[in-house]
Every structure is written in structure tokens, then in C-alpha cells.
Amino acid sequence: MKFSKNVPIYTLHMDTALGGVTLAATDQGLAGVWFDEQRHAPDTTGWIAAPEHPVLRQAAVQLAAYFEGTSQHFDMPLDLSHGTQFQQAVWQALLRIPRGGTTSYGRLGADIGKPAAVRAVGAAVGRNPISVVVPCHRVLGTDGSLTGYAGGLDRKIRLLQLEGASHS
């Protein structure tokens, strides 16, 4: 996933119970949440540090409440426009997985009308730019087993535990 050089990207770094997180926003909404050392994190060169940006502040407050267990939902504008149409369809499908629920890559593919595209769905899930808020951690193997997570399997386990989701 690449951000356009023509679009200003605002950023804020915060500490969470699961480690440091970089937040990114555009004028359209929250565009990124990446754990420190997460796979597929973008190059942040040229991004603008903006700790008072309203979307970044809103995201930081809501993420802090989520990690403390005092909030179960996110309510902020999202900018998912920095992926392909297929990736965007997968990311939108991730938003429909309820808290405490899980799904498989195959079911996600079926949900977007591409049941045979399991590998492509997996690649799109792995490149989800808005970790936690767009809940890619809720995707498990067909048999319910834990599968890869760009932020690390330990974090995936902790996120699922925080939400009360069952996994193998």
C-alpha cells in the first residue's frame, strides 16, 4: 500500500498496552494504525507530525479506551482509499465482523463475491492499513486456528482475548 505523495499525511505516535502505535490521517479520515515494527508498515518520510490533528486525537482517545477495555466501538471517519479496489472491498468486509466474532479467509472471500480468491483475500488482510480499528485480527484459519498477523501473533492473541473471541 502506498500513499500518494500529493496527499498530506498527518501522524501521531502513541504508546499502548501492546506497544507503540503510529497513527496516520488524511483530510478524509484515519488512514493508518501500525504497531511498531509491524510488517507492511509504510515509509513515513515526509509525513507531518500533528499531535493535535482532530482525527488523530479522536483515534488516540478511542484506541486508549479500547485497550483499557472501557470502549468496544470505534467511531471516526476512515480513509481506506489507499489500496486497490479489491483491497478496499476486503477491508470493508473486515469492518462487518462483530466484536467477539471471527471469520475465515474463505468466508471473507465469499462475502465479497470472490470465494476462490482466498490467497488474494489473505494478502489484502495482511496489508490492512488500519490495524485494530479495521479488525483484521478477527480472521482465523478455516479450522479456527490462529494464522499470521502483520503485528505479530502475540498481539493477535491479546486482541482476541480483549474482545472475548474464541480461537484455537
CA 35 → CA 21, 67, 84, 87, distances in Å? 4, 13, 22, 20
Q: Which of 55, 56, 136, 150 is catalytic?
A: 136
Does residue 136 carry a catalytic annotation? yes
What structural domains and CATH numbers belong to the chain? 10-68 (3.30.160), 85-163 (1.10.10.10)
23 and 62 in contact (C-beta within 8 Å)? no
User: What does each of the 168 residues of the chain score in pLDDT, given as a tens digit?
Assistant: 567 677 899 999 999 999 999 999 999 999 999 999 898 889 899 999 999 999 999 999 999 999 999 988 899 999 999 999 999 999 999 999 999 999 999 999 999 999 999 999 999 999 999 999 999 999 998 888 888 888 899 999 999 999 988 766
Q: Give exposure, 96-116, as e/b (b: 16+ Cβ within 10 Å).
A: ebeeeebbbbbbbbbbbeeee
Give the separation between CA 158 and CA 165, rounded to whole angstroms: 10
168 and 144 in contact (C-beta within 8 Å)? yes
Its pTM stands at 0.93
